[in-house]
Structure 1
Amino acid sequence: MNLLLLFSRGVDWLNAFIGRYAIWLIFVATLISAVNALVRKLLGVSSNAFLEIQWYLFAWSFLIAAGYTLLHREHVRIDVLNSRLPKKVQVWIDIVGFALFLTPLCLVIIYLTWPVVLQMYQSGETSGNSGGLVRWPVWLAIPVGVTLLMLQGWSELIKRIAFLRGQGPDPMGRLSQATAEQELAEALRQQTQEAQVSQQLAQGPQPAAGQQPQS
């Protein structure tokens, strides 16, 4: 079990690392979009390659962050019954979901998309638009992202089994991911509370209503 937990921690680290930097792909896509719009308005020049690379970067950003999203339990859920069940029942439902639904689905997607990626790479297939990009890089994002999602599913499966065996913490809680602004707000709140307590101690106990202060 210790070896499996080590594997789980490695997968968590990998997806956390990728997720932290995937947002930069969106920043680059936004920057390219802004530059492309300015060039089109000012110079009357447009490029299909720049338009397509925006979609390529967007596709890569959300696909490779799928595992990161699962790590932080941020995928959309419509929970009608599960949250009302005992904790161990919820864990078992997740185990069944990861083992019998998520893993087979990911394997099917990987099996179906890898041949397409290889075929596009070998043929050098390009976009149908004039001046468009080659197609295989954006298709590659599908098996890569799904592989990361499947690995994270295995990590979550291991953590839930460890929890049932009494060898791990509760895996159902959301990971703490406070932003710098949230951390600053929390620090200011604590300082304010400490200042209020210090002020109350300095003032001393207040006399009860109707009592005269003793001289």
Structure 2
Amino acid sequence: MSSIASFVRGVETLNGWVGKTVAWLALGTVLVCFATVYLRYALNTNFTWLQEAYVWQHATAIVLGGAYTMMTGGFVRVDIFYGKMAPRNRALVDLFGTLLFLFPFMAVVGWAFWRHFWSAAVVGEGSPNPGGLPAWWLLKGTLVIFVALTTLQGLAMIGRSLLVFGGREEFAGTSSH
């Protein structure tokens, strides 16, 4: 059980670090968006790469922050029943929800995202817009990272459930990160 607890803590430390780091992209998104609007309307100039930069930042924050959001219980769910359940019953719901819904979904989107990323990386895909950002395949790579981090978090959720079943009540619920 101690190796499962170490795995859960390790995954949640990683996802906590990633989530808190990409949260700063929200500030970057606002600043770059402001600069784009200011340049366009106050100085009557426009840079396509700057417009694409704030879209990239926003997308990256959302995609890479997904596992952190799942870890902290930030996704919307119907808590009518779940919130009132005993820790062991919540662990059971988390276990089966992860196995029956999360993992099959990650397998399907992981395969699709990988193919999408790989085909873009092989040709060195860039922006279709003149003056846009090069290496769009990097942005598409964030989708693959999303799948990896979310799958790891799913494994950590299973680990939490197993720990709760083994009497480790301190692992009930979401992470404290």
Fold shared by both chains (TM-score > 0.5): yes
Contact conserved, 2:110 with 2:147, CA < 8 A, in 1?
A: yes
Q: Could you tell me how far 1:56 is from its partner in structure 2?
A: 0.7
Please name the residue that 1:163 is paired with. 164
Structure 2 CA distance, aligned partners of 1:94 and 1:148?
17
SS of the residue aligned with 2:83? helix
Taking only aligned residues, the RMSD between alpha carbons, in angstroms, comes to: 1.8
Give 1:52's aligned amino acid: E
Please name the residue that 1:115 is paired with. 115
Structure 1 CA distance, aligned partners of 2:85 and 2:20?
33
Contact conserved, 1:159 with 1:168, CA < 8 A, in 2?
A: no
- Does the C-alpha gap of structure 1 residues 152 and 113 become closer, same or farther in structure 2, counting only changes over 3 Å? same
When Rg is computed on C-alpha atoms for both structures, the one with the higher figure is 1
Please name the residue that 2:140 is paired with. 139
Contact conserved, 1:66 with 1:146, CA < 8 A, in 2?
A: no
Please name the residue that 1:101 is paired with. 101
Please name the residue that 1:15 is paired with. 15
Q: Could you tell me how far 1:13 is from its partner in structure 2?
A: 0.5
Q: Could you tell me how far 1:55 is from its partner in structure 2?
A: 0.9
Runs of 4+ in 1 over 6 A off after TM superposition: none
SS of the residue aligned with 1:130? coil
- Does the C-alpha gap of structure 1 residues 23 and 85 become closer, same or farther in structure 2, counting only changes over 3 Å? closer
Structure 1 CA distance, aligned partners of 2:115 and 2:150?
19
Q: Could you tell me how far 1:173 is from its partner in structure 2?
A: 5.6
Contact conserved, 2:64 with 2:142, CA < 8 A, in 1?
A: yes
Higher relative contact order (CA 8 A, sep 6+): 2
Aligned length: 176
Please name the residue that 2:62 is paired with. 62
Q: For residues 56-97 of structure 1, what are the alpha-carbon distances to aligned partners after superposition, in whole Å with 9 as ceiling and x for unaligned? A: 111110111111112211111123333344432222111101
Contact conserved, 1:98 with 1:153, CA < 8 A, in 2?
A: yes
Given the two structures, how large is their TM-score scaled by the length of structure 1?
Answer: 0.75
Point out the more displaced range, 62-71 or 128-137: 128-137
User: Does 2:10 correspond to 1:4?
Assistant: no
Give 2:168's aligned amino acid: Q
SS of the residue aligned with 1:81? helix
Q: Could you tell me how far 1:120 is from its partner in structure 2?
A: 0.7
Contact conserved, 2:163 with 2:171, CA < 8 A, in 1?
A: no
User: Does 2:173 correspond to 1:172?
Assistant: yes
Q: Could you tell me how far 1:115 is from its partner in structure 2?
A: 1.9
SS of the residue aligned with 2:52? helix
Q: For residues 125-146 of structure 1, what are the alpha-carbon distances to aligned partners after superposition, in whole Å with 9 as ceiling and x for unaligned? A: 2233222223212211111112
Q: Could you tell me how far 1:168 is from its partner in structure 2?
A: 4.7
Structure 1 CA distance, aligned partners of 2:98 and 2:42?
52
SS of the residue aligned with 1:75? coil
